[in-house]
Chain A
């Protein structure tokens, strides 16, 4: 696994970059491991439910079977990756991808407390500044116009009531 924080952009300005790359083999094993873990979770939680029997399966039967299948398939994929050559490096830490995912994960935290339009306005501003590399003031202006358009379309035209926050 290789990681670095380098940063000279094409226009010469210094920008934050984070490169995280894994080999195809290592990444494949990690993903297969994650799938096996998901399968194991399904199997374990299902085993706590009524399994019934082969003739009359209970609510735990089907997910237990699927969890076991998932673990088995993931193990085969993981083993296959383990014995394969390292392969090409797969980049996982693209700056814009990380920003987009982080911003998206922040949205549900403040969506109801702050209100939909404030949250999405902030989200839009962050995305425009950090990903589209727009300057702050035009980004804020675009976000305000965008939110007004959303309010008109979703609330006025479609009658959709989104959280308004404390205001």
Chain B
């Protein structure tokens, strides 16, 4: 069967009424959480994660992915109309998007953002479709030692590119890995840190932790804010961009698609970084860089295209290697694992319907979002009128039911509440939750493969550098760790010196 036939098979899955319905629900919910400040794609995905457990794995993953890219679309709406980024990847769009809106050009800004998102999203899906199958074939042959090095590499890159303090990010990685060891040891069956609780033998519930650390902590932080939101409301007829807008945006959309595509595979905060890079590139390439910051349409087209181009490529490490590179794909990994589907090199042979169904649904989802976002922009903006304190009980009740329904255990509600409070406190003091979540997801596989690799090699650590690819990967990993340690040590020394000088 050729790739084209398989894609057609995928469309057969994605065009079933059930898949279309859940894709639509995912896109709609994604747009809503993208529009509402403080509820990004992660909170949106984690809150609905438990609802997918009763669904077919392909349908469940289609819905969750719809939330992911729907939120990227929705985030631009509030950035442009309210100057509040719905989620982190839309921060840059605020700069020129809101300036355009102030000048009465909100419609073209929204339209160009939607078109750019559509093009970027579609190009990244094409990349996903062509890169994953051959990469998966190569990865089938890899052993546990390669997996260990790849996971360590992913976690190290997250620590390096993280926006916050390196030592705090590394602490969150260590904490996440430690939390991942709770439950039965997979290799010996010995219970660890369960303290006699049957509810903990299977480990800490990922859904409960993810909802607590991301969703609940976000809600608690938002409860502290009291500002009212004033939005600019464009009319439907104002949405149509001028020919000049399209001409000015086209090169930006093309460049940003490539930038988003490349940055999508970098673990950590790729969707955020790609928007900043795209903005800087557009400013550099522009004949009128002075217009940037005052309503340049390329300043909207570039970042919005880039953050959507990331969504497809961010799936490549997950689907080809089974290693999530960003928290959103960690949630997808968790959802697939709960359904008994292991993402990674064998996904294409064991569950081709999941992969091709997902690819096809992403094409369809992009069209749904284009249709959904433009005519309904007024409705989405009106969502901002609903007092946040009314939404909180609804969101929390759905979360509680969802978390409980995973294992039918109140232990999971405890975990959610406690991790929510802990996440709130940690975020207050600038600890990031994304590295913790990724480490938590990857922790048990890292340990299992580490011990397996050593057992297979008779206890020789040379197994982590016993062929060319491993030597390269291990060297990159070693280099990253050394550079990070040096950067931290020099920064530390400098701050001591500054302090001494100040005294």
Contacts and interface: CB of A to CB of B under 8 A. Distances in A.
Interface of A: 24, 27-28, 31, 35, 38-39, 42, 45-46, 49-50, 53-63, 66-67, 69-70, 73-74, 76-77, 80, 83, 90-92, 94, 96-97, 100-101, 104-105, 107-108, 111-112, 116, 120, 123-124, 127-128, 131-133, 146, 150, 154, 158-160, 162
9 contacts: A77-B165, A80-B167, A96-B224, A104-B413, A108-B410, A123-B393, A123-B400, A131-B392, A162-B404
Interface string B382-408: 000001011011101100110011000
Contacts of A57: 450-451, 454
A31 B181 contact: no
B174 interface: yes
Contacts of B492: 80
B248 interface: no
B425 interface: yes
Nearest to B389: A132
Contacts of B134: none
Contacts of B338: none
A160 B384 CA distance: 32
Contacts of B240: none
B429 A35 contact: no
Contact of A132 (B174, B177, B224, B390): B390
Contacts of B425: 31, 92
Contacts of A50: 188, 190
A94 B188 contact: no
B223 A42 contact: no
A44 B171 CA distance: 18
Given A92-B428, A101-B417, 7 more contacts: A31-B431, A57-B450, A90-B429, A100-B396, A131-B223, A132-B387, A132-B389
Contact of B410 (A54, A111, A150): A111
A127 to B, nearest CB: 4
Contacts of A76: 167
Contact of A133 (B219, B389, B396, B405): B389
Interface string B449-486: 01100110011100000000000000000000000000
Interface of B: 51, 54, 165, 167-168, 170-171, 174-175, 177-178, 181, 185, 187-188, 190, 192-193, 216, 219-220, 223-224, 387, 389-390, 392-394, 396-397, 400-401, 404-405, 410-411, 413-414, 416-418, 420-421, 424-426, 428-429, 431, 447, 450-451, 454-455, 458-460, 492, 499
A127 B417 contact: no
Contacts of A67: 178
Contacts, number: 167
Nearest to B429: A31
B178 A42 contact: yes
A120 B421 contact: no
A29 B154 CA distance: 29
Contact of A45 (B193, B220, B387, B431): B193
B439 to A, nearest CB: 10
Nearest to B168: A77
A74 B171 contact: yes
Contacts of A31: 425-426, 429, 431
A158 B398 CA distance: 13
Contacts of B393: 123-124, 127-128, 131-132, 146
A123 to B, nearest CB: 7
Given A96-B223, A96-B224, A105 B428 contact: no
A106 B6 CA distance: 50
Contacts of B397: 120, 123-124, 146, 150
Contacts of B405: 154, 160, 162
Interface centre among A24, A27, A31, A54 (most CB of B within 10 A): A31
A81 to B, nearest CB: 9
B484 to A, nearest CB: 13
Contacts of A105: 414, 417-418
